[in-house]
Chains A and B, each alone.
Chain A
Amino acid sequence: MGENGAGKSTLMKILYGVQQPDEGTITVEGRQLRLRTPSEAIAAGIGMVFQHFQLADNFTVLENVVLGAEGLHGIGDAARTKIRELSESYGLGIDPDALVADLGVGARQRIEILKVLYRGAKIIILDEPTAVLVPQEVTELFDNLRGLTAEGLTVIFISHKLDEVLQVADAITVIRRGTTVAEVDPKGVTARQLAELMVGSELPSPKTEESTVTDTPVLTIVDTSLDNPLGGPRLLEDINLTIHSGEIVGIAGVEGNGQAELVEVIMGMREPSSGRILLGDIDTSDWQTREIREAGIGYIPEDRHRHGLLLEAPLWENVVLGHQTETAYLTGPGGWLVNAAAAKKETEAIVEQYDVRTPSINVTSGSLSGGNQQKLIIGREMRRNPRVLVAAHPTRGVDVGAQAAIWDHIRDARRQGLGVLLISADLEELVGLSDTIRVILRGRLVGEFDPDTVTREELGAAMTGAGAADSRKPGSELPVSDPVEPAAPWGSPAPEQDTTKEEGQ
């Protein structure tokens, strides 16, 4: 285990033959191996379950499993029998003829595990497998994993979540900044000790923040729906949401329940089928993205590579991106020329203020690390003083120092009256930052919670649509309290580490 950016994924990529180590050796069952490609890793009995599933929706389980491994048991009955066998012996409960599109997230993950087993893996690597699951599904996954280890397989479980690792692991290796800092026995260690090993310092106690919420609405969404262009259920259904000045509204939900669509509707990238969206008291429903951004909505996209950056363009051009009509970046009669000098100056300021680690503002944005790319985006949006910030997964894939800095920037801006819509899969982030948490399920906002009092089970139940009563039972098997901060189960996620550069706004 280790924090985001500690090097867990890199280590696993080396194990799976995706990346090459500069030095050192890998020994599997006493044999020293050089793994140059994933197929060599598979041949050595190493299998990888990626965080993002690699399944074809319109294929059956059988077809997905045999894809790329047709040589093993063919594509017919032999393969089907083998899948049934594996499914039964490890208690995965998978029907080979089910269509993947009809299956939920938990089942899809089990298919991924089955795919790896089918290829003869003895060592299974799971990369942040619980990131996409709700608490109830996590419990099921853990049961499956115990089934695998009981059969003599080895599971490498990558996570940064203390309670999960303590619950499921037989041995824990903590890595920080690319090196092993400790190997511990889960029975002899407390969550707090583990957390300190992970971040490398005393954990700060949760800060009580004074509420900065005002009663001035900055973004109001009224009865907004979005039809599915391919038919079927609506992607968004009767969304009503108000964000006030100085307020952070968090949206919790299992990925793919309408979060992306909600953002796209607000940002004008999709036209809502019905309803109104007000910025202040101006109706922006039929505005396009450019006008909406000009009116003062900052946007931190979910996928920075696809929506936030031009990877092969220099940093200063990326700073202009999204603000092409900002007069500060323009020059010439009628402002039809790009003012490169001004944009470069602004980029220098962002690099300085937001601690973007780069040798120059002329390098391409693709050559920066993920955390620095994200800091550049945050700086680009925040420095334009938006009235509303739409932030989708603002700290995803970002190292711990950058994460804390990003949270601080968002908090600071809130104090000055910014309204924030925060969409995140990281429940700790939601609870730590939000003033209000809303839950989205199948395109509807289904619940409203106070982050100071809500429990993991309540959120989990709302996210999966299980009734409050139903959720109690599976909930009792879940890590109810987070031992890191016994007083407040959710606490404020460690905002100030020594790695954080505190810089004034």
Chain B
Amino acid sequence: MNTRLDGRRILMAIAAPLLAVVVAVVVTSLILIVAKDPVGQVWSTILSAPKPRVLSAIINAATVYYLSAVAVAIGFKMNLFNIGVDGQYRIAAFFAALVAGQGWLPGPLNILLGLIVAVVAGGLWAAIAGLLKVWRGVSEVISTIMLNAIATALVAFLLRKVAIESGGSNVVQTKPLPESSQVPGFNLIPGSSREVYGLIILAILVGIAYWFVLNKTRFGFDLRATGASETAAVASGVKVKRMVALSMIISGGAAGLVGMPLLFGQDYSYGSTFQPGLGFAGIAIALLGRNHPIGIALAALLWSFLDQQSNALQIQAGVSDKLVLVIQGVIVLSVVIAYEIVRRANVRIEQRRVAARLAAEAGSPLEGARA
């Protein structure tokens, strides 16, 4: 019984994202046909086997996306829409780079300090939105959007204050990390000159911690209960306000880690060229991955696969690489719809199965109609 139920659940879980991807392919193809662009050429470019160098880039981008999506998913599990991951990770990366750049502690300890600073900074920034919601009932959607704008301005302002001269170039950046604090990459892909971020380990640990806390701990139970039904959670004794503030802070803390693989494995400082927009990609990926630690990983890989493969579109097919945004956008839209359809179907199917099984056991349809 259990294995059969689980088998169906897994099938249901895969059906929706698969459906969404198919819809995205169809819609994008239609757009290409209308625009008289070479449809076949586009798909063969995007779906070609990535070169080893590109494969490393896909894994690296997915690592960062994964952290961002987990941060968003923590909020989603509580029915909190943390749009502010974007601001949180930039604030966090700035302060982490600033502190770690000083090289107060030797090697690995300095890395650890940087990570802690990032978590604290991200958490504190998110706490503003969390506390506003708890104390003043301000929607976290509004406040985190505002805080994103403020974060942008604040970081730009502070960066000017602490920036170091970088001989001639007009890039503004914090003091680079000491060499001993740079995290070496792994040579994971044979034949690729580009290494995979060492902090991919961090992303994996965050994923495991996310799964464990949510599914195995009392805190996770309370959090899921609140997300599933706030009224039932209140009646069961969950202190919802505290949960809202806490989960917002934890989400922000996780968001703080988003920029870390970039900081310690690639840029070694925070500057005006630090990769923006990761928070918004995280929202889409969390939706696509259904807030599930493995689902998010697959979604992050798909996302960065599309990103990287589309780089060649302009040269190979003469189509703007912005096309990938259309594909990603359609995927997210259709996945949200598909999940809801699948969810409702699932509820109905289970109700029918239970009623049928009971009727079979009792030999007569007793009270199946009521639910």
Contact = CB atoms under 8 A, between A and B. Distances in A.
B238 to A, nearest CB: 7
Instruction: Give the dominant DSSP class at B's interface.
Output: helix
Contacts of B224: 313
A216 interface: no
Interface in A276-335: 288-294, 299, 301, 306-313, 317, 320-325, 330, 335
Listed residue (B217, B237, B361, B369) with the most chain A CB atoms within 10 angstroms of its CB: B237
A321 B236 contact: yes
A286 to B, nearest CB: 14
Interface stretch (A164-172, A247-255, A360-368): A360-368
Nearest to A323: B236
B350 to A, nearest CB: 4
Listed residue (B234, B353, B368) with the most chain A CB atoms within 10 angstroms of its CB: B234
Given A338-B216, A366-B371, A399-B367, A308 B222 contact: no
Contacts of A91: none
B49 interface: no
B221 A369 contact: no
B76 to A, nearest CB: 15
A338 B369 contact: no
B329 to A, nearest CB: 28
Contacts of B232: 306-310, 321
Interface in A240-274: 267-269
B217 A357 contact: no
Interface in B218-233: 218-222, 224-225, 228-229, 231-232
Given A321-B232, A357-B366, A363-B350, A368 B371 contact: yes
Nearest to A359: B357
Contact of B369 (A7, A308, A336): A7
Q: Bin the interface of chain A by size.
A: 35 or more
Interface in A13-33: none
A324 B221 contact: yes
Contacts of A10: 369-370
Given A322-B236, A324-B237, A363 B354 contact: yes
Given A322-B235, A359-B1, A370 B370 contact: yes
B348 to A, nearest CB: 9
Interface in B298-328: none
Contacts of A317: 221
B187 interface: no
B351 interface: yes
A267 B235 contact: yes
B231 A307 contact: yes
Contacts of B365: 178
Given A338-B221, A359-B358, A364-B347, A369 B237 contact: no
Contacts of B1: 359-360, 362
B48 interface: no
Contact of A313 (B228, B362, B368): B228
Interface of A: 5, 7, 9-10, 177-178, 267-269, 288-294, 299, 301, 306-313, 317, 320-325, 330, 335-338, 357-360, 362-364, 366-373, 397, 399
23 contacts: A7-B369, A177-B366, A178-B369, A269-B235, A290-B237, A293-B237, A299-B235, A306-B229, A310-B225, A312-B347, A313-B228, A321-B225, A321-B232, A337-B218, A338-B217, A359-B353, A362-B1, A363-B354, A367-B350, A369-B367, A370-B371, A371-B367, A397-B370
Interface of B: 1-2, 5, 216-222, 224-225, 228-229, 231-232, 234-239, 347, 350-351, 353-355, 357-358, 361-362, 364-371
